[in-house]
Amino acid sequence: MTAQTRDEATHQRATPSGQLRIARVESFILHVPIHKYVEDSFNTADRWGLPGVILHTDAGISGLGYTSTLTHGDTAIKAVIDELYAPILIGEDPRLHERIWQKLFWSKAHWVGRLGITTMAHAAVDIALWDIKAKAANLPLWRFLGGDKDGRVRSYNTDGGWLNYSETELLAHLRGIVDQGWTAVKMKVGKPDPREDYARVRAARRMLGDEIDLMIDANQVWDLTTARTWASRMEEFNVRWLEEPLHPDDVRSHTLLARATRIPLAVGEHVYSALTFRDFLEAGALGYVQADCTRLAGVTEWLQVAALAKSFNVPVVPHHADMMRVHQHLSAGLNASPMLEVIPWLQDIFEEPLCIKDGWVYPPETPGASTAVRAEKFAEYRVA
């Protein structure tokens, strides 16, 4: 079975006039090589995990959704889909996303875990539902959501700033990204000695000049004292934001840090609920909301967070974990999201590779959420 059979594809432009029901739930796990080895302050990777689900309907329309891992915990996510969510989904109208969202959230999964693995499984299902909804409307998801942007979204590139790069390699990779047209880049910090981080950020700013946006990402490894000390020292480098400096559940410390530095804080890739984002925003702790529809419970909760951030006048810049498939639509569809993160690792596995020109992402016009995987790649990388 492929991610999307050719027979189903021929029906996807036909909008059902009456009932539309989920007839079959097919879970899967893909392990995709990323063709390089990378490190941040506490993760390493050379493969990317995509546990997910295909929802098949009785009208011939299918929807594909997934979440993202470093290939750890995939089987647990798949088990939640198979054992806890699939029985609820059969027979439901996939267009009624709010009804289904509530049923999944208050299912037996609520007892064993409201955040983390159960939420990521929920995300995969919810993304598949929105894929179906947009296909049933014969619209790309970004147009289905309202289409705030004029067919393109500015992006920034993270793929040149890994900690395992020497300073020379770091500068060469960042320069290569800028030479491709990007005007915004991100690099990792979080070395055992922050003095090395300082030197690398200084070198990057000198090489890039003042016209390129530069963001830094500590991936949670600093304590409050370290963050206060080094954030204030890095202010001279005109850093657009400091990402995940502290433990992602520690709203209090982020609030204190936000008061101690002029660099805006960006948090969200490890925030799993709209309620937690509410607490960060009410505390005045965030300059950027990095909501991720594969870590929140799908597009439905992502839209709640985006509306919440908009009410606090804080921009939403999605985390990359869906490898920009759904997030390109969300950023293009909503006024709350001015920019998109790009790490272009998995583009060759999808039926529609990301269209990027001079750092701008152009979402496609094909109906759906752009999650369809090429049949031969789906077969090659499927491990469950």
Could you give the residue numbers annotated as active site? 188, 319
Sheet arrangement for strand 62-66: 22-39, 44-57, 62-66
Q: How far apart, in whole angstroms, are the C-alpha atoms of residue 173 and residue 164?
A: 12
Burial of residue 220 (number of CB atoms within 10 Å: 0-12, 13-18, 19+): buried
Would you say 128 and 122 are in contact if contact means Cβ atoms under 8 Å apart? no
Neighbours of 199 (CB within 10 A): 13
**Long-range own/partner contacts, residues 71-77 (CB < 8 A, 24 or more apart):** 71/31, 71/47, 73/49, 73/117, 74/29, 74/31, 74/49, 74/383, 74/384, 75/29, 75/51, 75/384, 76/117, 77/51, 77/117, 77/120, 77/121, 77/124
